[in-house]
Amino acid sequence: MEESTISRARKAVSPKSIFITLGAIGALAVLKSSILMTDAGYTYVHQNNITGALDVFTEPGIHVRMPFLSKITRYDQVITVSFGNNQGEAFYQRLPSLQVRFADTYTGQVPATFRFKLSHSPEQIIQMHREFRSNDNLIETMLIKNARNVTVITATQYTGEEFFQGGLNQFKAQLADQLSNGIYTTERRQVEVEQVDLVPVGFDQDDSNKLQATKQLVWKTIPVTDKSGQPIRQDNPLSQYGVTVTQVTIGDPSPEDQLDKLLTDKKKLVAERIRTIQEQETSKAQAKTEQLRKEIQRTREVQDAQRAKELAVISQQKEVEIARQIAERELVEERKKKEIAALSKAKELEMAQANLEIQKANAAAASFEAKAIRETGIAEAEVLAAKYKALGTYEKIYTAEMNRDVAKVLYQNLPNFKVEMPQNYIGGNGGMTSNLDVITGFSALGLMEKSKELSQQSKQ
């Protein structure tokens, strides 16, 4: 039973199917080895091992390569080298801080970060690949060593005190310049270093709180300049490969213990000197303040006396002015009274003349009115006499017209007349002689009307 099963399995897996499967796998392997897919941010160098040709790819895409007989080397287009940063991802981003020695033999730790950008020129990339052969070798043997070397050389151009007392920004600018364009050609000379310090403390000084420039002789590395004043530079190892420096960042540097103690002691001495100067200035200010206070008090007293004198003069002038104004006001009032009296008399005269004219006008008007009334009465009497004379002449016609008008009015109002006879009558030979008779009669009438209503309701 088992032998028959094995024989059937051998028949199912034939050599032909095995060859087909192996051919498909080989074709996929050849196809995968023949295609190169490039990503953004990287530069790829393709080396054909048969012909020895080198191809450079700097843009993302799909490219054809020699399968199995070619080599691909990838370079970062932008490389960051960090000294003193323990948070980096690669070894060249987790390097210790740079230790530098200054011109006055003091040392210090300087954390720094450098950012480099590779060239896009195929010739420069191929030259760089021929010399360094890998991305890590390029970073370790050229970028890191060059950055450390330029930083150390730049530090020799500064003293420790100069560096830690405000020279960091200038140090950063010179470091970036030498790293990008080449190191300065230098020579060691003894030069005067100018320092800013407070003047010595004294009791009779008005400028003891001011700063003064002091000079000190030190040995420094000085850049050599040409006739135009530009620094003479050495060859830049980055320029032949097209590598450029895009950013230089300096962290918080730390001096050695001896330099740190020197700076701390100097800071304390300056602080003590400033405190002493402040105390002197405070004493001077207090003395000046007291003197000014006395001067102000004396000036205030003089001003108060002058003000009192001026107030007395003003008071007298005010009284004189008030008396003058009172006299002028009384004179004006007297003049006003006279003018008012004159105006009053003139007004009475005008009123009397006006009344005379009014009375004359009223008399003339009354005379004219009497004449008009007389003429009107004469005219009305003549009209009435003519009217009655005419009526007497046509008496019958006038009477007929009056009767006609009366008949016409009666005829028009005849439908509105209604004559009703009384239903009850109370009376006697002698009439009603007392109130009791009247009341009795009205009661009888009421009873008769009530009985009449009841009879009508019973009929209904």
Q: Which two tokens stand for residue 198?
A: 């407070």
Q: Which CATH superfamily is domain 77-255 in?
A: Band 7 domain (3.30.479.30)
The position carrying tokens 């790819």 is: 57
In this prediction, residue 351 carries a pLDDT of 86
Nearest-angstrom CA–CA distance, 70 and 45:
10
Nearest-angstrom CA–CA distance, 150 and 160:
17
CB atoms within 10 A of CB 379: 10
DSSP designation for 93: G
Q: Using CB atoms within 10 A of its CB, is residue 217 exposed (0-12), middle (13-18) or buried (19+)?
A: exposed
In this prediction, residue 371 carries a pLDDT of 87
Task: Report phi then psi at 328, rounded to 5.
Answer: -65, -40
> Domain spans of the chain?
77-255
> Distance of CA 319 to CAs 42, 305, 323, 324, 333, Å?
104, 21, 6, 9, 21
> Distance of CA 6 to CAs 11, 162, 370, Å?
9, 90, 172
Which amino acid is located at 435 in the chain? N
In this prediction, residue 181 carries a pLDDT of 87
Residue 177 near residue 234 (C-beta atoms within 8 A): no
What is the mean pLDDT, run by run of 10 residues, along the chain of 460 residues? Answer: 51 62 60 70 81 80 71 86 73 78 85 89 88 87 89 85 81 88 81 58 49 64 81 84 88 83 74 72 81 85 85 85 86 86 85 85 84 86 80 77 80 71 62 66 74 76
> Distance of CA 71 to CAs 60, 67, 148, 151, Å?
18, 9, 32, 36
Nearest-angstrom CA–CA distance, 74 and 338:
125
Residue 47 near residue 54 (C-beta atoms within 8 A): yes
Whole-angstrom distance between the N-terminal and C-terminal Cα of the chain?
137
Q: What ranges make up the beta strands (E) of 290-367?
A: none
Nearest-angstrom CA–CA distance, 164 and 176:
18
